[in-house]
Chains A and B, each alone.
Chain A
């Protein structure tokens, strides 16, 4: 392994990349997420948190993925129990993992975990108390549908920096608590910080790329500023509500039977491909 790119971190050959998809009771989509990374040639293991604590080490991996689902039954608040448990049991390893700029991806419930942990937005590293939340959708209810996302990141995010700015991605969501919010008193100030530090990544839009402006159904959950995904200041930690692993292959798309030209992969692949290419050493 050797030091890599501007973010620091560790680079290795694609086939030597080791990814940990961390699960607890209530996690789902772990198999699809692991499959997506395996498709791209990385070694991917699905590990239960207790297995990692007893017999493993987070630092054996190049990347950590917190997949979707309903960890710990979504009790108290979505993602909060997994976040506190991760901090209490693997806090030291997590800190070193983050200090070494090893990437962390949070999908849906994983995004909620990263926000509750204080890693996202994490303006000053890990916040003691979260500066944002992902709360009950408006309109209320569990939404499972395909949405359009606009990439507004200017190149800071390691998971999207090779995807052209303003590109529209079609990826599904499946959540009941995905409404991204800052506290009302600080929302303008924190949004400015998010944009200035190039931490804003995906925003909900319509098929033509026109931003949803808070209006349903393009914005499926009432998220502030149509926010669907953000990264930390270093661009190494990324969370998003949509599920890229459910848009990996052509056969996962709902309308493939109507198409005259079928591509091999869906838009979700772009995100997985992007991060793999960033942590792969060129041979």
Chain B
């Protein structure tokens, strides 16, 4: 028990920031981007295309950067992205 306790207390949790960017897969249309591009053109900008994505900055505690990335991956699959229409990228940095 003593060994177990000392093992638990020896695990040092670090703070990480996971930047998760969720973007639309191609082929599903991009109505929001097209609407924005249309208006930007009307405003006089030489715009070719607008792609829309959502960025989540998640601050979390984990033992390592690898573990933080696995956790962020799970968060993306379970909540932040819908695999039918979304791609996502994850970038983890120690804070």
Residue ranges of A at the interface with B (Cβ–Cβ < 8 Å):
76-77, 80-81, 84, 116, 129-133, 135-140, 179, 181-184, 222
Report how far A137 CA is from B28 CA in the complex, Å.
Answer: 11
A80:B79 contact, CB within 8 angstroms: yes
- Additional 6 contacts, C-beta under 8 A, given A130-B83, A136-B31: A84-B78, A116-B82, A133-B84, A137-B31, A182-B84, A183-B83
Residue ranges of B at the interface with A (Cβ–Cβ < 8 Å):
25-29, 31-32, 34-35, 77-80, 82-85
Those 9 A-B pairs whose CB atoms lie nearest each other, nearest first: A140-B31, A184-B27, A133-B84, A183-B84, A133-B85, A133-B82, A138-B31, A140-B35, A136-B31
Residues of chain A with a CB closer than 8 A to B28's CB = 135, 181, 184
Residues of chain A with a CB closer than 8 A to B27's CB = 184
A181:B85 contact, CB within 8 angstroms: yes
Q: Can you name the residue of chain B whose Cβ is closest to the Cβ of A224?
A: B28
Q: List 13 A-B contacts (CB under 8 A).
A: A76-B79, A77-B82, A116-B82, A129-B82, A133-B82, A133-B84, A139-B31, A140-B31, A140-B34, A181-B28, A183-B25, A183-B84, A184-B25
Q: Nearest-CB distance from B57 to chain A (Å)?
A: 14
Residues of chain B with a CB closer than 8 A to A136's CB = 29, 31-32
Q: Nearest-CB distance from A121 to chain B (Å)?
A: 11
A129:B31 contact, CB within 8 angstroms: no
> Contacts A76-B79, A84-B78, A140-B35 hold; do A132 and B29 have CB atoms under 8 A apart?
no
